[in-house]
Each structure stands twice: as structure tokens, then as C-alpha cells.
Amino acid sequence: MDRLAQAFARARQEKRAAFVAYLCAGDPDLNTSLAACLAVIDAGADILELGVPFSDPLADGLTNQLAAQRALESGMTAARVFELVRLIRAKSQVPLVFYTYYNLVFSNGVENYVRTAKAAGVDGMLTLDLPPEEAGEVLAAGRTHDLKTVFIVAPTTPAERLPRIGAAATGFIYYVSREGVTGVRDQMAANIPEAVARIRQHTSLPVVVGFGISTPAQVQEVARAADGVVVGSALVNVIRDNLDNRAVLPGRLRSRAAELVAGVR
């Protein structure tokens, strides 16, 4: 099995959901970002979702927009994102999934981008603004280089599109639990178990849930229904809050991540 499949299989064997941690690559700089990634892995994250910094992150709320801005201002480029992946991979075999936008893939050449990502150590790619109907090149390159594809389902996704999305994905399905953008929320979205059950009718792949999950209690609640739980903004906020003392940032991030990981265990 590939690393992603192994991570979900291990979680199932332990009768729990997988914990997926999101961080923006290069936030606030390459070296600190590496330490941050290793900290959440050390805290028990099963999968690391790396946001590829982009100037127009349409699916992201303010927290992750500012993280991308910090990364870009520190000099992150496509080449440096791949460098970060290689540095993480030298220390860990935790699955890595790119959270990206199609312009970043297309502008570097789809075949070239997917090949380079796989060679660096990326296991899967979620391209937020690329629907499966338009994803022919990415799907073909993913098959050629064994880079798993991830597609999203939203609360507004028509039922008739679920079979197409299920057929296109090869890594997992990402259920966006609420309309709008990423960010910390006080209350969970309604009907998550019902939405996950509907998606499972059209795929045998794991279904993970993200957007707005930010406390251990929320993680625990979603973990009862989903195969994986994604937490992003609550972790990125730790980086934001410790920009003036980057030496303590990894330790504080490790502590926060461990609290959240406990929700799936």
C-alpha cells in the first residue's frame, strides 16, 4: 500500500479516524516551517496537508490567507516548496498531501509539476479549484506518476455529481463541512454524519472532513462519522501568535497539535 492508504488502514485498525494537520508551506519562513511541520508530525498527525502558498487562495479564510502571504514574502517559490517536502521526507514517512490551486500546477506544466512533486515525496494532491470534469491532465499525470488525487464535496454539491467525484479521486474524498472559506468556528456544521454516509455510497475511499474544525471536542465529534479529520486554522494561529519568538514556536505548536490529535484517540 502507498503511504496514504497505510495511514488510513492503521487508523481503522486502531478503531479511530486519522488526524490530518494543515500548515502552509514556508510560513513564516522555510526553516521555521520545517520545524513546525515536524512538530505536528511529532504530536501524532497521521497525514500532513501542505498548503502551497498562492497570491489568490480563494477557498481560504483570513488566517490561511495571511499564512500564504507570510510565506510568499519570505521568498517561497514552487522550487522551495519542493525543497521543504524533501527536507520533511528526510525526517518522516508521514503522508504529505499538497493543498493547492490549479494555476500553480498549470503554470509549471501539469506533467512536470506532478512528476516533481512525486519525486520530492508528495503522496497526493488536492487542487481546490479544479473540478473532476476539467481534471483530465492532472488525472493522467497522477496515474503515470502514482500521485494520488483528492477531490472535494461541499454541502451544495448536487447528488448527481457524487459518482463522478468518487470515480476521479484515488487518495480520499475531502468533505468541506460548510459553505464559505477555511477558519476557526465556534459551532460545528450540521448533518456531517448524513453527508459522509451519502458520499460513501459512491466511493470505497476514505472520507475526511475539514473547514471550521478547531477544538478537541469538535475533532472528537467529527471523528465519530469520518475516516479523517482536518484541522488547519487552529494550528496556523499558533504560528501567527508566536511570530515574535520563533524559537518557542515549534514547542507551542506541538502542544496545541497534541491536544487536537487527542480528539481522534
Mind listing the pLDDT tens digit for each residue in 7-44?
Answer: 999 999 999 999 999 999 999 999 999 999 999 999 99
- The domain 3-10+17-264 having CATH identifier 3.20.20.70: the answer here is yes
CA dihedral of 161, 164, 169, 174, whole degrees rounded to 10: 10
The arithmetic mean of pLDDT across residues 205-223, rounded, is 94
The DSSP H or E segment spanning 252 is: helix 249-261
If one counts every other C-beta atom within 10 angstroms of the C-beta of residue 84, the result is 21
pLDDT digits 0-9 by tens, 170-186:
999 999 986 554 545 55
Percentage of the chain surpassing pLDDT 70? 95
Look over the chain and give the mean of its residue pLDDT values, rounded to a whole number.
Answer: 94
Flag whether pLDDT at 144 surpasses 90: yes
Contact 89, 96 (CB under 8 A): yes
Catalytic residue chosen out of the listed positions 46, 49, 221, 227: 49
Flag whether pLDDT at 100 surpasses 90: yes
Give the per-residue pLDDT at 183.
46
**Domain spans in the chain, listed from the N-terminal domain onward:** 3-10+17-264
Map grid coordinates 511570530 to a residue.
243
Of 49, 52, 55, 45, which Cα lies nearest the Cα of 11? 45
3-state secondary structure of 123: coil
Give the per-residue pLDDT at 188.
63
For 135, what's the count of Cα atoms within 13 Å in the CB-facing half-sphere? 27
Told to judge if 60 belongs to the known catalytic residues of this protein, a careful annotator would answer: yes
Q: Could you tell me the sign of the dihedral formed by the alpha carbons of 239, 77, 131, 164, in that order?
A: negative
pLDDT digits 0-9 by tens, 107-131:
999 999 999 999 999 999 999 999 9
Is the pLDDT higher at 2 or at 188? 2
Catalytic residue chosen out of the listed positions 46, 60, 123, 227: 60
Give the per-residue pLDDT at 228.
98
User: pTM of the prediction?
Assistant: 0.94
Cα three-residue angle 103-127-134, rounded to 5 degrees: 80
Instruction: Report the distance separating Cα 146 and Cα 164, nearest Å.
Output: 20
Of 109, 6, 112, 92, which Cα lies nearest the Cα of 50? 92
The arithmetic mean of pLDDT across residues 178-197, rounded, is 70
